[in-house]
Structure formats: C-alpha cells, structure tokens
Amino acid sequence: MIIITGGAGFIGSAMLWELNRRGNEDVIIVDDLGHTDNGKWRNLSGLHYSDFIPKDLFPSLLEKNALGNISAVIHMGANSSTTETDADHLLENNYGYSKKIASYCASQGVRLIYASSAATYGDGSNGYSDDITVIDRLRPLNMYGYSKQLFDRWALKNQVMENAAGLKFFNVYGPNEYHKGDMCSVASKAFRQIRDKGKVTLFKSHRSDYLDGEQLRDFVHVRDCTSVMAWLLDNPDVNGIFNIGFGSARSFNDLARATFSAMDCEPVIEYIPMPEILRDKYQYHTCADMDKLLSAGYARPFISLEEGITDYVRNYLGTPNPYLDANSQ
C-alpha cells in the first residue's frame, strides 16, 4: 500500500493518476479538501484509491500503526504559497508535520519520497546544485522556501535520507492545478488571459541585465515529475535530494508565445510593473542542475516546453473536463 499526502493537490493527484496508469489502486489519500467551491475534490474524480484520511488524523494513525502494511509514503502535502506570511503556520505545516511522517518512515523502514522546492535556492547566487555539501549555503527568499530548507537539513542530519528521496521541484505546470488560484502556473494564467482578453500580461524587469519578460525559469511538466517519482519507487536504493526540472531555463516570453501558438493566436504581450512586495524576493533565473538524477540512472527524456504547453492547452485547459482521470493516456 502507498500513501500520498496532499493527494488531492496538484502533484499528488497527478501521482495517483500515474499509479493508476501502472495498475496500482491500493493507495490511501491524505489531504484537506477545504470548501467545495475550490474544486480540489475534482482532482480525485475519475481516479481510483482505497481510502481517504483527513490530514489532521494521519500522524496519530501512523503512531498507532493503524494503517496496515505501508510500502511507501509520497509526502506532497504542504502549504505551497510563496506569499504566505504566517511563518508559524508554515513552520508547523511544512516542517513539523513532515518530521512526524519522516520519523515514522525511518523507524519502520518505509520508503519516503517528499517534496522539497527550488525555492530553497533563493536568488540563485549559490547555484542550483542538489549536492548536499552546498545545502547550508543556500538562502531562501521567502518563508515557504525556508520551511523546505529546514526540513531538508533536518532529514540529512537525522538519517532520514537512508531510505528517502527529497525532490526540489522547479516550475511545475500541467493538469490538476486549477484549485490553486493565484499560485497556479503561468501557463494556466496565460491560457485564461488569452481566452478572456486576447493578450498576456507579464511582469516588467526591474533589473538592467534582464529585458521585460526575459526573466528565466526552469519549466517542467507534471508528468515528468510523476515519472521520476514512479522511477524512485521502483529504485528504492536511490536516495538523497534531487532537482526535478527540465534542466534548461526558458523565458516567460517563450512560455507566453508557446501558449499563443497552442491556441492558434498571434502573440500580444503586455508588461506591467512588478508589485513592490515581490521585487526584493523575486527570482530572475532558475535552472535545475540535473546531473545527479541522471547519474543515478534516470534516463527518460523530459517533455519540451513547446510540447508540454501544447498538450496542456489542447488536451486539458481547452476541454470541458480538464482533469486527469484513470482513462487519460
């Protein structure tokens, strides 16, 4: 049996789809669905799992060994808002909760795959290497990134990583992120802007070394993320912290143009001032160093930005039922 925390969320529900695609329905989903109007529950509609456990009940059930024979925990549950200002909430939800799960997995010899974040790299001045020897030099720009950094460091110092893999996700996009509101990917936002207004708005650059819209990100399709996680389940001897990105940086202009192309529209891009609150916390460049994962043996090619955006727009965003389901290919 596999447990997915945050299983109704973006990457969690996509991972459930990946497991279903592989014929595995013996999965317990752990999450907090919130209100019905956020649509989060729809991420599970059409997918198959054995049980659903509320997030707050899960740690106590683990402590009591009340869930049977667990082969792996895929811990995707977290507050992923990079603009969250409640530091205590992030500390408990992203750090304290993760420690409880990791401690159980370590004591029981259960495989753990958990979500870290590229937000731990801060402004990138210390590079984007997932080598653990540089982890203490990283300086996140927001509390979300810091909460992830805290757990990475704790896991390394407490022998958790002997049977675990932490994944530093870069800019993930794809189906099942619709509940995330302002935290959804730029690809999803661009589609809605083009559909509703015929144009895309991007932030102006406030640095002389970057033109407007030429801020760079490592965009990675959610199916590549779930492919890597499935591979890590099949290869439990591969442990440590790994970057999950495409491995090259592309501009927001590139992403906008790919979205216009997928919608058969001519590009119309407008640049707007970046809010003051974001300017000193904004990453102008991210790019995953993928050598460590590839050296560990992962060999499947990643989906290009143009291919991924075309798939997302034409097969999901532009359809009446945009969610992944068990019959999706």
Q: Is residue 190 part of a domain?
A: no
Which CATH number is 56's domain given? 3.40.50.720
pLDDT of residue 27: 98
| 198 located within any domain | no
Question: Does some domain include residue 131?
Answer: yes
Residue 98: inside a domain, yes or no? yes
Taking alpha carbons only, the member of 287, 244, 15, 252 closest to residue 124 is: 287
**According to the model, what pLDDT value does residue 90 have?**
87
**Residue 171 has what pLDDT?**
96
In a domain, 78, yes or no: yes
Supply the range of the domain harboring residue 142. 2-173+220-246+289-302
For residue 136, tell me if it sits in a domain.
Answer: yes
pLDDT at 279 (0 to 100): 86
> Could you list the active site residues?
144, 180
Position 329 scores a pLDDT of 56
Indicate the number of domains in the chain.
1
Is the residue at 212 inside a domain?
no
CA-nearest of 191, 229, 189 to 13 is 229
Cβ neighbours, 10 Å, residue 38: 13
Return averaged pLDDT per consecutive 10 residues of the chain, 329 residues in all: 96 97 97 82 95 95 92 90 79 91 95 96 93 94 92 94 96 94 92 97 95 97 98 97 97 98 98 90 92 97 98 95 82
In a domain, 165, yes or no: yes
